[in-house]
Amino acid sequence: MRQTTGTRKSPGEKIVKDIKRATPARQHMRSMCERGAKLRKRGVQALEEELARLREEVAAARKTNQAVPDAHDYDEAATRDAFIDLLLAEAGWSLDSPRDRKFRVEGMPNQSGEGFADYVLRGDDGKPLAVVEAKRTKKDARVGQQQAKLYADCLEKMYSTRPVIFCTNGYDHWIWDDQMYPPRSVSGFLKKDELVLLHQRRQTRKILDDVSVDEEIAGRFYQQRAIRRVGETFERDRQRKALLAMATGSGKTRTVIALTDQLMRANWVRRVLFLADRVALLKQAHGAFRTHLPSAPSANLLQKHDPAKNDHAGARVFVSTYPTMMGLIDETKGGEKRFGPGHFDLIVIDEAHRSVYRKYRAIFEYFDAMLIGLTATPRD
C-alpha cells in the first residue's frame, strides 16, 4: 500500500486557502466598482448642476428682458394684434368666429344702450366663459376693469351665466372672478378647460368646515388644527397663500396630504403640484402621496410620461423639482402652452424660504394657484 508523506490538508483548509488567494482580487474589483459608481454619481450631479445653472440664466435673461421698458405706445388695436391675440393662441383660443371679437352686448348704461366687448371666450355650448377688456400698452390694465364688469353684467343677462373678467394692456393681465375673489394679477389667459372648471366650482365647491379631515392620514391634534387654519385662510379670509411652520418630524408631508385630500373632496382643487429642491425629498413625498392618497393618480415630472406607471395626462398630483418646472412652463406644442396658468389649483412648496422664492419666483408668478409653503425654519 502506498504511503503518503507529510500532513494532508482537509477540504475545508483548501477552501480557506483559495478564499485568501482570491480576496485581494475581489477587493480590487469591489474598489473599481465603487470608484466607477462614484464617478457616475459625480457625473450625474455635475449634469444636474449645469442644467440648473443654465435654467437660472434663462430665467434671469427673461426677467431682464421683461424689465426693459418698451418705448412704443401701441394703441388698443395694435395691442390686440401684437400681444393679446398671441397670448390667447398660446392658451388654445383660436378666435376663428366673428362673435369672438368686438361682440355687441345690450344693456349698457349709455345713450345707445349697447357696447362692444373686445373678446368673448366661449365654451363648447356657446355660452361666455370670460370677457376680455383690452387697453393700450401705456395704460394701466385695471383702467378697463369697470367697463369689463359692465360687459359681464350684460352677458350674464343675455346668457344667464356670469363670465370671468380679464383686463389687459398686453403686458399686465388681471383676472377677476367677482363671485369668488377680488381682482388679482395673472401671467396670462386661462385655457378653456381651466375656465370651465372655474365655472363648475361656483356650484360644486363645499364649505371646508363641512368636510372632514381624514384622521388616518393626519390624526394628531396639531395637524388637524393646522389644516383647519389653512382652510380659514383660504375661505374666510379669501387669501391664496399660507405657510405651515412645523418642527422636523411632526409630519408636515402627511399634514399637507390630508389637506390636499380635504380640498379635493370639497371640490376646491383638482390638480396639485408638489415642489422640492432635492430628488430624494421628491421621491419620498411621491411615495407618501401614493400611500396615503391612492385615490388621486400621481406623476413624477422628472420621469417620462408612461400611461401605465407615470401618467402625466391623467394625474391629479404632480411632483417636480424647481429647475424642472422652470423649463416646463415654457414648453409648447403646436404653439399652445403645455401648462396654462390655471393648470394647477394648489402648489405645495417644500422647505419654503425666501431664497427659494427669489430663485424660482417665476413658477409662483406664472401659475394662478393657491400656495402652501412647508418649513421647519421660517426665519430663513
For residue range 171-213, list pLDDT tens digits in order: 999 999 998 899 999 999 999 999 999 999 999 999 999 999 9
pLDDT for position 48: 61
pLDDT for position 149: 97
pLDDT for position 127: 97
- Per-residue pLDDT band for 80 (boundaries 50, 70, 90) equals confident
- Per-residue pLDDT band for 167 (boundaries 50, 70, 90) equals very high
The residue ranges of every structural domain in the chain are 76-202, 206-375
Q: Is the pLDDT of residue 65 over 60?
A: no
Q: What is the 3-state secondary structure (H, E, C) of the chain?
A: CCCCCCCCCCHHHHHHHHHHHHHHHHHHHHHHHHHHHHHHHHHHHHHHHHHHHHHHHHHHHHHHHHHCCCCCCCCHHHHHHHHHHHHHHHCCCCCCCHHHEEEEEECCCCCCCEEEEEEEEECCCCCEEEEEEECCCCCCHHHHHHHHHHHHHHHHHHHCCCCEEEEECCCCEEEECCCCCCCEEECCCCCHHHHHHHHHHHHHCCCHHHCCCCCCCCCCHHHHHHHHHHHHHHHCCCCCEEEEECCCCCCHHHHHHHHHHHHHHCCCCCCEEEEECCHHHHHHHHHHHHHHCCCCCEEECCCCCECCCECCCCCCEEEEEHHHHHHHCCCEECCEECCCCCCCCEEEECCCCHHHHHHHHHHHHHCCCEEEEEECCCCC
- Per-residue pLDDT band for 380 (boundaries 50, 70, 90) equals very low
Pairing verdict, β 346-349 and 272-276: parallel
CATH second-level architecture of 206-375? 3-Layer(aba) Sandwich (3.40)
CATH second-level architecture of 76-202? Alpha-Beta Complex (3.90)
pLDDT for position 64: 55
pLDDT for position 36: 64
pLDDT in tens, 255-290: 999 999 999 999 999 999 999 999 999 999 999 999
Query: From CA 53, how far away is CA 212, in angstroms rounded?
Result: 44
Question: CA nearest 91: which of 192, 166, 236, 23?
Answer: 192
pLDDT in tens, 88-146: 999 999 999 999 999 999 999 999 999 999 999 999 999 999 999 999 888 999 999 99
Question: CA nearest 268: which of 216, 210, 189?
Answer: 210
Query: From CA 120, how far away is CA 247, in angstroms rounded?
Result: 49
